[in-house]
């Protein structure tokens, strides 16, 4: 391989991925049905259905603009030696190879964050606001950004420092210790996410004693699932959309309910949603996802260890010497086709798992309440009721609402 070939290969992968995303998005945008799907006709009136399709159109246009904007920025960065400029800037301020790599990757991260900031502001304060979803104030938006940036610097910087140190100390076999480290970190974060990360952004309070808590505990005891940690999160301070999720292992496992969910659903509907989530635990879907993630990271690290020190990568981006950060950038692009295939595989299993969790809820509680909950949440979030099958196959981690209801 020569530098020119590698450069053109990187550009080709970026453009082909853009075309793929644009094409599938186009198919999805044209998959409209004027008639309300029969299975949701009881909760959707004509006005609400039209509004959901308007939301779909606006999101499609916004996504297209965002993709094109991102593509133009990337191509400009490639063709005007952006990588060389950032590399030279990093070397002006630092001598340590670890600090140079951290500085280089940090410059790329923050350049991307700042350039995409107008889009984020427009999406939250114009699009989401116009459809009644946004509750985020400017203060919350700014604080969220600052907290995210600080977490990225502290956490992301620490992880990258470890990887670079291992690479410099061990050489090509660094991927083994890096894999063990990242695997342990993945398990730790899955177990303690609600205790470590969530409090930085949201307030969590234990669900008060009352009918809902009693009914949840009665159901969890009936199915042999110890659930004493039931929390409510103040999701309404950012959005009117509702959600619920499980996190943690063993005694640390907990269910977290958005306050918006409590306002939208009745007791039986909430229990049905929790029954679905418990189904994921009972069917070992959580363990599968963690193992799948660890295997994926192992494959990535092994391939990275083979390719990262190839001089042709640096030469293709106008740099003279190979480095960890340039190898990482080139690898992340070259890995895109493999990453897409892995995502397809994961989404296939994920959709299967959703059906299994629905079946568990149906068997142990009452499918009618789960159907009611799914319909209400879909209506209130203006979700797409008629996505294109190819779009679903490629991107969706969950079956469509119509597909789920047909199985319940």
* pLDDT of res. 361: 95
Q: Are the C-beta atoms of residues 246 and 231 closer than 8 Å to each other?
A: no
Task: List the catalytic residues.
Answer: 277, 358
User: Residue 174: which of 335, 10, 329, 328 has the closest Cα?
Assistant: 328
* DSSP 8-state symbol, 258: E
The residue assigned the tokens 């999720």 is 245
Q: Is the pTM of this model over 0.85?
A: yes
pLDDT along the chain (408 residues), means of 10: 91 97 93 79 84 92 96 96 94 93 96 96 96 94 96 94 93 92 90 88 92 93 89 94 85 88 94 94 90 92 91 90 92 93 94 96 94 93 91 95 91
Which helix (H) or strand (E) segment holds residue 246: the answer is strand 244-247
Burial class (CB in 10 A: 0-12, 13-18, 19+), 277: buried
């Amino acid at each position: 391989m020569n530098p020119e070939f590698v450069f053109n290969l990187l550009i080709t992968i970026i453009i082909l991925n853009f075309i793929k995303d644009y094409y599938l998005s186009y198919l999805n945008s044209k998959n409209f049905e004027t008639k309300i799907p029969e299975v949701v006709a009881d909760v959707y009136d004509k006005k609400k259905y039209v509004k959901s399709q308007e939301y779909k159109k606006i999101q499609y246009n916004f996504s297209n603009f965002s993709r094109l904007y991102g593509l133009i920025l990337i191509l400009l960065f490639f063709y005007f030696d952006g990588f060389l400029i950032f590399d030279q800037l990093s070397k002006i301020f630092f001598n340590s190879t670890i600090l140079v790599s951290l500085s280089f990757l940090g410059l790329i991260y923050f350049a991307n964050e700042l350039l995409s900031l107008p889009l984020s502001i427009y999406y939250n304060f114009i699009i989401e606001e116009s459809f009644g979803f946004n509750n985020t104030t400017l203060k919350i938006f700014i604080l969220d950004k600052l907290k995210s940036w600080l977490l990225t610097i502290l956490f992301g910087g620490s992880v990258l420092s470890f990887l670079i140190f291992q690479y410099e100390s061990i050489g090509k076999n660094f991927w083994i210790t890096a894999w063990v480290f990242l695997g342990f970190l993945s398990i730790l974060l899955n177990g303690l996410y609600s205790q470590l990360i969530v409090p930085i952004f949201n307030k969590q309070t234990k669900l008060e004693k009352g009918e809902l808590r009693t009914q949840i505990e009665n159901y969890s005891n009936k199915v042999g699932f110890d659930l004493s940690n039931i929390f409510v999160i103040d999701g309404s301070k950012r959005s009117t959309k509702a959600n619920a999720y499980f996190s943690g292992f063993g005694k640390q496992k907990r269910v977290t309910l958005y306050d918006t969910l409590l306002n939208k659903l009745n007791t039986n509907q909430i229990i049905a949603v929790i029954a679905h989530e418990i189904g994921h635990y009972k069917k070992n879907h959580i363990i599968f996802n963690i193992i799948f993630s660890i295997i994926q990271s192992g494959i990535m690290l092994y391939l990275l260890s083979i390719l990262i020190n190839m001089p042709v990568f640096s030469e293709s981006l106008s740099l003279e010497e190979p480095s960890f950060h340039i190898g990482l950038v080139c690898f992340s692009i070259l890995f895109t086709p493999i990453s897409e295939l892995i995502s397809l595989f994961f989404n296939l299993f994920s959709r299967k798992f959703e059906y299994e969790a629905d079946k568990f809820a149906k068997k142990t509680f009452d499918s009618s309440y789960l159907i009611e909950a799914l319909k209400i949440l879909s209506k209130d979030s203006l979700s797409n009721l008629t996505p294109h099958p190819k779009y679903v196959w490629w991107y969706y981690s969950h079956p469509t609402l119509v597909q789920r209801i047909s199985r319940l």
